[in-house]
Structure 1
């Protein structure tokens, strides 16, 4: 890209991000902390007039449901032997505030900043597991499109749950145009050789986070890879304070590279993960983009610019 940009994508999922898993997710019991984080993020973005792509689980668009979604197939995974919908509480925002979040979507939609409401599937279904299929993903995407229509959100950007990219033909079939790919550094973390050490070295030396470019994968579909995860990434380095400082150093250097040579610095994280340090770092990243005169764009804007 001739004009560089910063992209921020936020996986907005609450308890759906842990659906089907017996895990300590460290969420508040009433959703108040998570909603406070989102409101603080909206305020921060407003102060910089910077839009983000909010990849929202479709079930969060609801205020209540009966727990039965007969139009959407319920895959059976090893992690969810009773079927994917078995854990749907079938309640309301008042009684299950981590499963319903129409108020959250309203806050994002009503922001004076033109944020993008993107898709994180309807139920945070896992797309690379045995028992899943293209047909299930199509139904999940159609369900998301139906509930998002109330907020004038059209199908454009997708973030796959847990970054498990699969069944791209389902995206094409349902009209989505771009998905977030994994960072070029992501495979190194799972390398059985020196890959993790290479990532460690990049952090230790404060190397720039990867600058990426959108890649056309089909005639009507693009991949926009991630650059960096704002949360303590790599997670097993999080206890080392100096590496957290390097996280911000890497982001700043990547933005400087974008300002000089173009490309995209694509930051991602989850709103529920934010703590004081992450808010400080995000503000510093937005200040760096402002200082270098690098615009903050949504995933949708990047692809529209690429095609113009």
Structure 2
């Protein structure tokens, strides 16, 4: 590969992604805007010819609770932390609230866009680091994610692990199921789990927030061969930066966040490296106008780099294929 690459991956999860932290009642207003966010995102991508990997929780492929039943895995994790029990939540969902957990038509709308790919965020927003689950539970979860995607003529080739919790043995399972690439962590990130967070980890979280505005960790661009070999069965495409949503309290330094991203993109373009940006669609669901102003500014910068340096926007699975065939 002789050109730099711009990768964007989204954790598409609706309330499955944070039901242990925020109640549905507290989240309805935000979640109600996700469809609008996705539609605006698709329009903007078409305008600037930008590709995205939508790492989608498998349950979103269903239209309702009734439809999901046929795809439930035989084995289910029995997390020690019961607040993480997705299947207990499933039992509690009322018909009038199904739109916050199922998004079949929206997933199909994304799948029908040739620019993008649908990846998996596991079937049930699975937590690989939690006590009470094991690798056999994970295998059944991934199997269900693949089967429900097949039911809608979608092939899964990439995975983003929920809360960035990955384990080498579990990555190997993904390879066995035909998944060719995953989003790994750069050195500045750690894997989030629900066990007690130590003081040093709180400090790291604070550093990551500050790093979004001020350069602490570096540009976080890289060459794919630094993390993989041509013999790799599954390709690691580490995240470079989380696009933090607009925060009115930090309005005065908002431009620093966008400038930080643009500088990393420029370095990647000029040095034939990868820059991998990620966020959640629901991050944009509050302050939609401000969030899309930031994103369009990033896309405009991408267009300039594409024209000047042949900087290419690409999905995770297409990048993995290019690397293996180069």
Using the size of structure 1 for normalisation, the TM-score is 0.87
In 2, the alpha carbon distance for the partners of 1:264 and 1:48 equals 19
Once the two structures are TM-superposed, the CA of residue 81 in structure 1 deviates from its matched residue by 6.5
| Structure 1 counterpart SS, 2:45 | helix
Q: Is the 8 A contact 2:12 2:56 kept in 1?
A: yes
Q: Matches of residues 1-308 of structure 1 in structure 2 within 5 Å?
A: 1-19=1-19, 21-24=20-23, 26-28=26-28, 31-66=31-66, 68=69, 71-80=73-82, 83-89=85-91, 95-111=97-113, 113-166=114-167, 167-187=170-190, 192=200, 200=210, 203-204=213-214, 209-214=219-224, 215-216=227-228, 219-232=232-245, 239-274=249-284, 275-293=288-306, 294-308=311-325
1:174-196 residue CA offsets vs partner (Å, 9 max, x unmatched): 11111101233224998829856
| Structure 2 counterpart SS, 1:240 | helix
Measured at CA, do residues 231 and 22 of structure 1 come closer, stay the same or move farther in structure 2, by a change above 3 Å?
closer
Measured at CA, do residues 63 and 104 of structure 1 come closer, stay the same or move farther in structure 2, by a change above 3 Å?
same
Once the two structures are TM-superposed, the CA of residue 281 in structure 1 deviates from its matched residue by 1.4
Q: What is the number of residues matched between the two proteins? A: 303
In 2, the alpha carbon distance for the partners of 1:300 and 1:90 equals 36
The list of structure 1 runs, each at least 4 consecutive aligned residues, that deviate by more than 6 angstroms after superposition, is 90-93, 188-191
Q: Is the 8 A contact 2:30 2:282 kept in 1?
A: no
Once the two structures are TM-superposed, the CA of residue 213 in structure 1 deviates from its matched residue by 3.3
- Structure 1: segments with no counterpart, 5+ residues: none
Q: Is the 8 A contact 1:231 1:278 kept in 2?
A: no
Q: Is the 8 A contact 1:211 1:254 kept in 2?
A: yes
What is the alpha-carbon root mean square deviation over aligned residues? 3.1
Once the two structures are TM-superposed, the CA of residue 31 in structure 1 deviates from its matched residue by 4.5
Once the two structures are TM-superposed, the CA of residue 238 in structure 1 deviates from its matched residue by 8.0
More helix by percentage: 2
